[in-house]
C-alpha cells in the first residue's frame, strides 16, 4: 500500500489492497498499531503500517475498550473485505514497538501455505461457555488441513469458569490440535468485555480461528511463579470457588501461610493487589498451571478464582518476582521458536496476563517485550494483556493465569 488509507465520503475506509508480489511467502505476518484517541484516525494509522505481500488470510484485532468497537469492526470489514476477522477488547496491547496502553493493534496473517477458518458461539442461560466454545471450535471441521494446525480461542474474560472454554474446544479438537488464546479484558473495570467476529461485536461470546499451515506453528507456555508451600489436597471446590485445602478453609490457609499486612486481610483491593503476585498453582502431570485469585468470601472462608481449582487436585501457594516473570517470557518465546525446527519466525502472537504486567514499574514496562523481540530476531509481533490464557500442546488442562502463551508462525 502506498501512503495512508484515507476515509472515503460517508466515513468508510476504501478497500485495502495487498502489495503486488510475484513471490509471496508461504507464511507472513504484519502488525499495525495506534495509540490515537479517535477511532477512525487510529484505524487509519494502524492500517497505514500494513505492507501486505499478499491477500490476508486472518485479521486479529486487539482494541482498548475506549474505542468505538463497532466502528473498529465495520472499518476493518471495509478496509480488508475478503479477510476473515476475529478479535476482542483488551487490558493492554502489544505491538512490534513494545507494550502499549489504550491502543489498537491489527495482526494480519497470510501466505500461500496458510489456510484459515473462523467461528463463534455465545453463552447464556442454558448454553454455557463449554457449548459456546464447542460451537466456535467447529470451524476446525471446515478447515482445509495442511501439515500443521492450531486452534486459537478468544473468550469473554468475565463469563465464568474459563476452563469450560478449554473443555468445549477439546470436544472438537481432541488431542491432535494444540490450543492457544486468551480472555478478553476491559482494563480491569470488570464490567463487560467484547469479542469480534467479522463485523459482529458481541459480549458473552467465544470466537475462534483454526489455522493450518505448510510451515510449522510453535506454541510456548511459561509463567515464572515458584511453589512456596508443600503440595496441599484440594478438599473443597466448586466452579470458581476454592473452599478448602487439606480440610481447612482455603482463605485461612492462604493468610496463615503468607502472613500479609493487615489491610490485605480485610480490604478487597489490598487483597487483590497482594494476590496478583501470589497465585495458586495446580499440579498437571509434568507442569503447574496457575490460577489467579480475584477475591475472597470472608464469611465462608473461600478464595475466588478466575477458573476452576478442581477438587482432588494438588495445589501450591506460589510467589514470583519481576526477574522470574521476565525469565518465563524468555522461556515461552524459546519454546515456541524451538518448535519451528530452526527456521526463523514469520511472526508472533502473544497472550500475556494483565496480572504479569502489573508487576512492572513504568520504567521497566518494555523489558518483557524487548526480551521477546531480541529472542525472535525482531519478528513482527502483536498481542494483548488478558484475563486468562489458553495454551495446550499435550496432556490435561490448558487454561492458565499469570502466564505468557506464545504462538510462533513458521
pLDDT for position 193 = 97
In the predicted structure, residue 60 carries a pLDDT above the cut 90? yes
pLDDT digits (tens, 9 = 90+) for 161-209: 899 999 999 999 999 999 999 999 999 898 999 999 999 999 999 999 9
In the predicted structure, residue 125 carries a pLDDT above the cut 70? no
pLDDT for position 4 = 42
pLDDT for position 17 = 63
321: its cell numbers: 518476582
In the predicted structure, residue 254 carries a pLDDT above the cut 50? yes
Question: What number of other Cβ atoms are within 10 A of residue 350's Cβ?
Answer: 30
pLDDT for position 167 = 94
**Mean pLDDT, the chain, whole residue set:** 91
Query: Is the entire prediction scored with pTM above 0.85?
Result: yes
pLDDT digits (tens, 9 = 90+) for 303-313: 999 888 999 99
Amino acid at each position: 500500500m502506498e501512503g495512508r488509507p484515507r476515509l472515503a465520503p460517508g466515513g468508510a475506509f476504501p478497500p485495502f489492497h495487498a502489495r503486488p508480489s510475484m513471490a509471496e511467502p508461504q507464511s507472513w505476518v504484519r502488525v499495525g498499531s495506534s495509540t490515537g484517541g479517535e477511532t477512525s484516525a487510529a484505524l487509519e494509522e494502524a492500517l497505514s503500517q500494513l505492507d501486505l505481500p499478499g491477500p490476508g488470510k486472518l485479521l486479529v484485532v486487539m482494541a482498548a475498550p475506549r474505542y468505538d468497537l463497532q466502528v473498529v469492526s465495520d472499518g476493518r470489514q471495509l478496509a480488508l473485505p475478503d479477510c476473515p476477522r476475529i478479535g476482542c477488547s483488551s487490558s493492554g496491547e502489544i505491538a512490534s514497538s513494545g507494550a502499549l496502553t489504550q491502543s489498537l493493534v491489527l495482526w494480519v496473517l497470510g501466505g500461500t501455505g496458510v489456510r484459515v477458518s473462523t467461528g463463534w458461539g455465545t453463552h447464556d442461560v442454558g448454553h454455557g461457555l463449554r457449548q459456546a466454545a464447542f460451537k466456535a471450535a467447529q470451524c476446525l471441521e471446515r478447515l482445509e488441513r495442511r501439515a500443521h494446525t492450531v486452534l486459537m480461542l478468544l473468550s469473554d474474560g468475565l463469563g465464568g469458569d474459563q476452563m469450560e472454554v478449554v473443555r468445549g474446544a477439546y470436544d472438537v479438537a481432541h488431542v491432535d490440535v494444540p490450543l492457544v488464546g486468551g480472555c478478553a479484558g476491559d482494563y480491569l473495570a470488570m464490567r463487560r468485555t467484547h469479542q469480534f467476529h467479522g463485523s459482529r461485536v458481541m459480549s458473552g461470546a467465544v470466537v475462534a480461528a483454526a489455522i493450518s499451515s505448510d510451515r510449522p506453528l510453535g506454541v510456548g507456555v511459561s509463567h515464572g511463579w515458584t511453589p512456596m508451600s508443600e503440595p496441599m489436597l484440594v478438599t473443597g471446590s466448586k466452579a470458581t470457588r476454592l473452599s478448602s485445602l487439606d480440610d481447612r478453609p482455603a482463605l485461612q490457609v492462604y493468610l496463615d501461610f503468607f502472613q500479609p499486612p493487615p489491610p490485605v486481610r480485610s480490604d478487597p483491593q489490598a487483597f487483590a493487589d497482594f494476590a496478583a503476585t501470589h497465585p495458586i498453582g495446580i499440579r498437571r502431570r509434568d507442569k503447574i498451571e496457575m490460577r489467579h485469585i480475584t477475591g475472597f468470601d470472608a464469611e465462608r472462608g473461600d478464595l475466588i478464582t478466575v477458573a476452576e481449582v478442581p477438587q482432588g487436585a494438588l495445589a501450591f501457594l506460589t510467589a514470583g518476582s519481576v526477574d522470574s516473570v521476565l525469565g518465563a517470557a524468555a522461556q515461552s518465546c524459546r519454546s515456541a521458536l524451538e518448535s519451528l525446527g530452526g527456521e526463523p519466525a514469520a511472526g508472533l502472537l502473544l497472550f500475556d496476563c494483565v496480572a504479569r504486567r502489573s508487576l512492572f514499574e513504568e520504567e521497566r514496562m518494555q523489558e518483557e517485550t524487548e526480551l521477546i523481540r531480541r529472542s525472535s530476531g525482531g519478528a513482527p509481533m502483536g498481542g494483548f494483556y488478558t484475563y486468562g490464557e489458553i495454551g495446550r500442546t499435550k496432556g490435561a488442562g490448558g487454561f492458565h493465569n499469570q502466564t505468557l502463551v506464545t504462538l510462533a508462525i513458521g
